[in-house]
Amino acid sequence: MPHQSLQGKIAIVTGASKGIGRVISQVFAREGASVICAARSRDLVEETAHLVTAAGGRAIAVACDVSLEDDVRRLVAEAVEAFGAITTLVNNAGDGGPTKPVQDYTMEDWRYTIDSCLTSSYLCARFVVPEMIKAGGGAIVNISSTAGRRGLAYRIGYCSAKAGQVGMTYGLALELAPHNIRVNAIAPGAVEGDRIDRVIAGQAAVRHTTPEAVRESFVSRSPLKRMVTAEDIAAAALFLCSDAARNISGQCLPVNAGEPAG
């Protein structure tokens, strides 16, 4: 039976400066992967790489903006220079963008959110896939969102970008199967942490209610009556990138405490 291990894998994790990306980087390294931690903030992404290496793992930090073509090209080149190949990609980078009514959602808001969440995933796939083909195969996981499947009011850019990641997953899974490259997505529900706190504050402001009421609305629609954690998302990513998931591709896995995903 294949093991849920990443021994010998070489993984790029984007958005690795904190939250889900930091935890995925740590879990992947603990399970044997060499990790390229990528994020815009040099100080924070270097801190992630230090946490990995201090725990005995292998990691480098690359400060870059994965919504920019030249930065992604450099990221891939540095990964190959450091570890010789790339077998695994987790497209986790992305800013949620503003919480506001669509009539107030500017073109700048739209472009920023789409580029941050969706264009970044496309660019990373574009430049990583040739390296995976050279390596004889690989695994890509796109961190989408339940909001990309069932929607969320006042978050039009984020919902659109995350739905786009799911569509990209389905298309790439078909295209890349002949190269032994599996492509899947994870659709987290509300994830405990700073980001959901900002979303809750934004929703409370636009709905003219309290943060406590908004938080309760997120929790109450989950049958398990709780939010999920970054560790839950990292566990799902570990499985999907491991040989234990060798026959799983073109899927979107909800990790949302039982909330209907739409």
Q: Which residue has the higher pLDDT, 1 or 86?
A: 86
Mean pLDDT of the region 176-187: 98
Q: What is the pLDDT of residue 193?
A: 87
Domain locations in the chain? 10-189+229-253, 193-227
**What order of strands is seen across the sheet that includes strand 34-39?**
58-63, 34-39, 10-14, 88-91, 138-143, 181-188, 252-255
Residue tagged 């039976």 (tokens): 1
Tokens of 89: 């990609």
Active site residue 154: no
How large a percentage of the chain has pLDDT more than 70? 98
The domain covering 10-189+229-253 belongs, at the CATH homologous superfamily level, to: NAD(P)-binding Rossmann-like Domain (3.40.50.720)
| Dist CA 191 CA 206 (whole Å) | 21
Whether residue 1 is predicted with pLDDT greater than 60 in this model: the reply is: no
Q: Give the span between the Cα atoms of 141 and 38, in whole angstroms.
A: 15
Active-site position among 105, 112, 158, 170: 158
SS (H, E, C) 9-48: CEEEEECCCCHHHHHHHHHHHHCCCEEEEEECCHHHHHHH
CB atoms within 10 A of CB 252: 19
Residue-wise pLDDT tens digits, 212-245: 999 998 898 889 999 999 999 999 999 999 999 9
Q: How far is CA 228 from CA 22, 187, 215, in A?
A: 16, 11, 13
pTM of the predicted model, to two decimals? 0.95
Task: Give tens-digit pLDDT for 110-129.
Answer: 999 999 999 999 999 999 99
